[in-house]
A and B are shown apart, each in its own frame.
Chain A
Amino acid sequence: KAGVTQTPRYLIKTRGQQVTLSCSPISGHRSVSWYQQTPGQGLQFLFEYFSETQRNKGNFPGRFSGRQFSNSRSEMNVSTLELGDSALYLCASSPWDGTTGVEQYFGPGTRLTVT
């Protein structure tokens, strides 16, 4: 099976702009989670979608939003970019189906730089 794919891999934006990142999960996986990774804060959970519904949300401002489509592909959007949003954004897919303790598989990430 193909792994998790994320596009684009690298992105440079200016403060105030908005950005949309895309994630295609492993075939058959319906759960998609998004994480922000920075050297100072480490891996922080943004949100998780399952069957087009947001199930969990981390502690991030409303500028960060996401959605999931019927084919399980997911997008996350960041509006009014700030310098502090510069980070590696990781998407992870999971075969979660209502059971517990299921592993997640990460994509290569999108490196966002805000100038």
Chain B
Amino acid sequence: QQPVQSPQAVILREGEDAVINCSSSKALYSVHWYRQKHGEAPIFLMILLKGGEQKGHDKISASFNEKKQQSSLYLTASQLSYSGTYFCGTEIGYGGSQGNLIFGKGTKLSVKP
């Protein structure tokens, strides 16, 4: 039931792009993306609802493929501040289950100068 994130870790140089994937074996209602820096709380990035939408702000965007139960997070022209562990949280079912997010194990992203 836990979504699978890939890759587990990635190292980038500043300015390079990265894609983080999140796959579930269950039908998803929504996918949430968070970033956590070492010793800090996870920070909300964005949420995608079923319907295959795509969202983005600044140089971070995401897509949700409802048919494949997959979401991808795209980081373009990476900056040092993008370093951290990225988690996807999946919401299975409908509104009554909101709050019951099942998180992937995370993808550790390191951006080097």
Chain A residues with a Cβ under 8 A of chain B: 4, 31, 33, 35, 42-45, 48, 50, 55-56, 58, 90, 94, 96, 98-109
Contact = CB atoms under 8 A, between A and B. Distances in A.
Nearest to A43: B103
20 contacts: A31-B98, A35-B103, A42-B87, A43-B42, A43-B89, A43-B103, A45-B102, A56-B97, A90-B42, A94-B98, A98-B95, A100-B30, A100-B95, A101-B29, A101-B49, A101-B91, A102-B47, A104-B32, A106-B43, A107-B41
A54 B104 CA distance: 24
B5 to A, nearest CB: 9
A96 B100 contact: no
Interface residues of B, number: 28
Contact of B30 (A35, A94, A101, A105): A101
B44 A100 contact: no
A99 B40 CA distance: 29
A91 B83 CA distance: 23
A104 B30 contact: no
B98 A102 contact: yes
Interface in B80-107: 87, 89, 91, 94-106
A48 B89 CA distance: 15
A45 to B, nearest CB: 6
A109 B41 contact: yes
Contact of A100 (B42, B98, B104): B98
Interface-centre pick from B87, B89, B94 (highest chain A CB count, 10 A): B89
Contacts of B98: 31, 94, 96, 100-102
Contacts of A94: 98-99
B99 A42 contact: no
A58 B89 CA distance: 14
Given A42-B104, A99-B95, A108-B40, 13 more contacts: A4-B41, A42-B87, A42-B103, A43-B42, A45-B102, A56-B97, A58-B100, A96-B98, A98-B95, A100-B91, A101-B91, A103-B44, A105-B44
